Amino acid sequence: MVLHGTGIYVLVPSPQRYAIHKLIVARRRREGSSKRDKDIQQAEALLELLVQKRPHELNAAWAEAYDRGRTWQQLLGEGLGFINADARDATLRAVDAPRSVIPGLALRFAAPAARYDFGRDVVTFLGESGGATVRCAISREAIEDHFGADGLDPEGRLRRFRENRETIERLLANKYLTWPVEDVGSVLIKSDDVDRLRAKHRR
């Protein structure tokens, strides 16, 4: 109710529906349009709040829109691709959707240096996706169980990682794009993931 005189009743859209609407509208506007930039900023600001305050309502609004068919799915994915990577990942995690809903998104590697993180007990390195840095890691157990590093020290685990780097990067990219988002801006392969990822790749 607007406080004017005795009050005026007005209709206000639900924030989760409005955020979804702004993603679609932004996609429909021409590139370089100031209105598109405004739509993206509004959608991003709303989504960042909704994933914290109303994740269940956001999930329901996304599902309703996504179920409207292929055109809506494409518009939602492309619209979501406009916002910053952290807000995008947090939104996808809230709505239980993989990053692959965004057309053309990929995880790429340019042979960045890998290091052993003693605090987390993982081999870690960086990738890039959609212009944003992605923190990539594989657990010690995964390297020991699947890449012949059982009984080796951290330097030996790093050596096994380098020897199998192409395979590990392929598995990481598969998980990053096609599995539900676990962590914003990062992807980790655990030992239990490896067989599932390899089986999916073989299919």
pLDDT at 189 (0 to 100): 97
pLDDT category, 165, cuts 50, 70, 90?
Answer: very high
pLDDT at 201 (0 to 100): 60
d(Cα 27, Cα 158) in Å, to the nearest integer? 43
Radius of gyration over every alpha carbon of the chain, rounded to an integer in angstroms? 21
Average pLDDT, the chain: 91
Question: Looking at residues 178-185, what average pLDDT do you find?
Answer: 95
Residue 200: pLDDT over 80: no
Question: Looking at residues 76-99, what average pLDDT do you find?
Answer: 95
Tokens for 84? 């910053």
Residue 1: pLDDT over 60: no
Question: Looking at residues 11-36, what average pLDDT do you find?
Answer: 86
Question: Looking at residues 172-194, what average pLDDT do you find?
Answer: 96
Residue 110: pLDDT over 60: yes
d(Cα 130, Cα 77) in Å, to the nearest integer? 13
Residue 8: pLDDT over 90: no
pLDDT at 2 (0 to 100): 59
Q: Which domains does the chain have, with CATH numbers?
A: 15-99 (no CATH), 115-202 (3.30.160.140)
Q: Between 30 and 113, whose confidence is greater?
A: 113
Residue 2: φ, ψ to 5°: -85, 130
Between strands 132-139 and 186-189, the pairing is: parallel
3-state secondary structure of 127: strand
Residue 95: pLDDT over 90: yes
